[in-house]
């Protein structure tokens, strides 16, 4: 093992146990008392690459099969590192890479080029069979709501839709807009439960195709429609009584928050209500995780509440409710990862083993962000007039009870054909 990598592991791993087998034999790190992980480097070059740029190279080396986790799994490795302090483990090369990414991020954020369509296609236009391997029956690709604790993934995704729709206070005759409509599940639930006419917009051609077919099969084509459209192309003056956006805001980009909320102000009715559901992080980030940016979500950015709230206010909108869900996405991602790995042979048949390791690293790294880095979900309820919603939260739970009764009467969902 290279001396620099040995020195890095020695500084980082103090709690738990890490065994590393590489070019120089086997080495042990940590004082025990925590997680136990065993790694093997397949080639000496991998050792040198990892120490120069761990943020990018750990994921790449794992994808390429040049780092093997022989005891534990990749989540346990990432969590073991986060269980320990990283402050003393920074090398000059790591600092320089970080500075370079900071500069590149600042330059990229100032380029007036809209790559939303391309960025969305990179992730959401993947083979639809992939998503069938790990999502719930409604293909909800966002944080579930595990209330009460211990319910199944399918039950938790229904609970998420129920919770959001209760906050919308939707009524028959309302016109609703969903910004980022996924595979159509939220729009169909909202329409069927509340008698609402829904327009969903997406930038994914694959999601658009499936959403339209699902609405047609359920006889909702007259009340639920889906369009391939970006939010900023919505015509000014076209008003909606309710707006919902779930898991889309992470793709807006922090320099576009003014544009996003100004558009919300344009299209939300004076007595309207919006619910915005997004991943949040505890503090603004200097730059995106380079591996996630390169391989999973190019152009994405996870905001902090401090970055979002000022733009809501500057757009002339009011925040009427904020709820933080700290660990629900960790539970969701754990379900997804376990389901995906149970179907890894099917995933490899769709793509290949390198893709399977990439997706496993993505799910594990995302889960670790919620268990160790204080990432969370925030739900912001937004209005123009403060009397658009009641002045207490009892209505949410009362409406959820009504929605549970609706769910008992609702026709079963068709499995999405793949």
Q: State mean pLDDT over 50-73.
A: 95
For residue 100, is pLDDT > 90? Answer: no
Fold of 3-106: Nonspecific Lipid-transfer Protein; Chain A (3.30.1050)
pLDDT in tens, 334-382: 999 999 999 999 999 999 999 999 999 999 999 999 999 999 999 999 9
Lowest model confidence (mean pLDDT) among 28-42, 119-133, 209-223: 119-133
Query: What is the reported pLDDT for 117?
Result: 57
**CATH 3.40.50.150 domain range(s) in the chain:** 117-409
For residue 30, is pLDDT > 90? Answer: yes
Query: What is the reported pLDDT for 2?
Result: 80
- Please tell me the distance from the alpha carbon of residue 406 to that of residue 297, in angstroms, as a whole number: 36
For residue 264, is pLDDT > 70? Answer: yes
Burial class of residue 283 (count of CB atoms within 10 Å of its CB; 0-12, 13-18, 19+): exposed
Burial class of residue 121 (count of CB atoms within 10 Å of its CB; 0-12, 13-18, 19+): middle
pTM equals 0.91
Higher-confidence position of 46 and 4: 46
- Please tell me the distance from the alpha carbon of residue 245 to that of residue 220, in angstroms, as a whole number: 20
**CATH 3.30.1050 domain range(s) in the chain:** 3-106
What's the CATH architecture for 117-409? 3-Layer(aba) Sandwich (3.40)
């Amino acid at each position: 093992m290279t001396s620099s990598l040995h020195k890095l592991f020695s500084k980082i791993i103090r709690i738990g146990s890490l065994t590393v087998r590489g070019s120089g034999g086997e080495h042990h790190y940590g004082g025990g008392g925590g997680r136990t992980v065993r790694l093997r480097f397949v080639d000496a070059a991998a050792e040198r690459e990892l120490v120069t740029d761990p943020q990018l190279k750990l994921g790449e080396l794992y994808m390429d099969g040049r780092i093997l986790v022989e005891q534990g799994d990749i989540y346990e490795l990432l969590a073991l590192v986060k269980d320990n302090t990283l402050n003393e483990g920074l090398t000059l090369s790591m600092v320089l890479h970080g500075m370079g990414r900071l500069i590149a991020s600042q330059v990229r954020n100032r380029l007036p080029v809209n790559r939303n369509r391309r960025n969305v296609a990179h992730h959401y236009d993947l083979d639809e069979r992939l998503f069938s391997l790990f999502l719930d029956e409604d293909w909800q690709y966002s944080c579930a709501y595990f209330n009460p604790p211990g319910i199944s993934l399918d039950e938790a995704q229904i609970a998420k839709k129920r919770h959001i729709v209760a906050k919308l206070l939707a009524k028959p005759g309302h016109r609703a807009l969903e910004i980022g409509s996924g595979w159509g599940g939220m729009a169909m639930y909202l329409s069927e439960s509340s008698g609402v006419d829904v327009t969903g917009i997406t930038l994914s051609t694959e999601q658009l195709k499936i959403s339209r077919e699902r609405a047609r099969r359920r006889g909702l084509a007259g009340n639920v429609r889906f369009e391939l459209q970006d939010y900023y192309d919505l015509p000014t003056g076209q008003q909606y009584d309710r707006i919902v956006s779930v898991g889309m805001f992470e793709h807006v980009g922090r320099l576009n928050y003014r544009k996003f909320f100004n558009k919300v102000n344009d299209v939300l009715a004076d007595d309207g209500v919006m619910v915005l559901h997004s991943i949040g992080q505890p503090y603004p980030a200097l730059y995106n995780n380079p591996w996630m940016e390169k391989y999973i979500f190019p152009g994405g950015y996870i905001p902090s509440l401090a970055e979002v709230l000022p733009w809501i206010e500057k757009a002339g909108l009011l925040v009427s409710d904020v709820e933080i869900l700290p660990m629900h996405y960790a539970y969701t991602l754990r379900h997804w990862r376990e389901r995906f790995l149970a179907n890894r042979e099917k995933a490899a048949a769709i793509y290949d083993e390198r893709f399977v390791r990439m997706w496993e690293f993505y799910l594990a790294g995302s889960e670790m962000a919620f268990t160790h880095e204080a990432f969370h979900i925030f739900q912001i309820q937004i209005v123009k007039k403060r009397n658009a919603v009641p002045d207490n939260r009892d209505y949410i739970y009362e409406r959820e009870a009504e929605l549970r009764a609706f769910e008992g009467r609702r026709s079963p969902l068709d499995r999405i054909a793949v």
